Amino acid sequence: MKRRISRRYRRETGQSIVEAAYVIPLLILLLCGILDFGWIFANQLEVNNCSREGARFAVVNADDPDLSSLVTGRVASVAGLGDAGDITVDVDFVGSQDVRVSVIKRVQVLTPLAGIFVPDQEIDLESTTVMRIG
């Protein structure tokens, strides 16, 4: 009886290695996807907040003749993730009552596996906020 059991286990000795060879690359791919998605999502939240803060600042200081550079400075000071040099700010007046602030940030993905979906390893994230003056 022991001989039958030991023969059976001898035939299955490499089974766990083969299963691990199938599963480990999938787990690494899943982990890299989660990391990149979280990084891009956090940066998109930052771009949204910078756009909103820039619009608020523009509404409060709408009379200043150098408004565009002031808003750009404010957005750069609020930006928390990454380099503030990767942020582009555009301030426009829509009609006589509204101000529009657009923020674009160029973000690099964290893992090289994202290169399958993002050819140049960088993504442009954009947010636009329009607020009424007064």
- Per residue in 89-107, pLDDT (tens digit) is 999 988 888 999 999 999 9
- Per residue in 31-65, pLDDT (tens digit) is 999 999 999 999 999 999 999 999 999 999 888 88
Residue 120: strand, helix, or coil: coil
What is the length of the chain?
Answer: 134
pLDDT at 6 over 70: no
- Per residue in 66-89, pLDDT (tens digit) is 888 999 888 888 887 666 678 899
CA 59 to chain centre: 27
**For residue 29, what are the contacts with CB-CB under 8 A and spacing of at least 6?**
113
DSSP letter for each residue of 42-101: HHHHHHHHHHHHHHHHHHHTTT-TTHHHHHHHHHHHH--SS-GGGEEEEEEEETTTEEEE
Helix (H) or strand (E) holding 26: helix 15-60
Q: 125 and 118 in contact (C-beta within 8 Å)? A: no
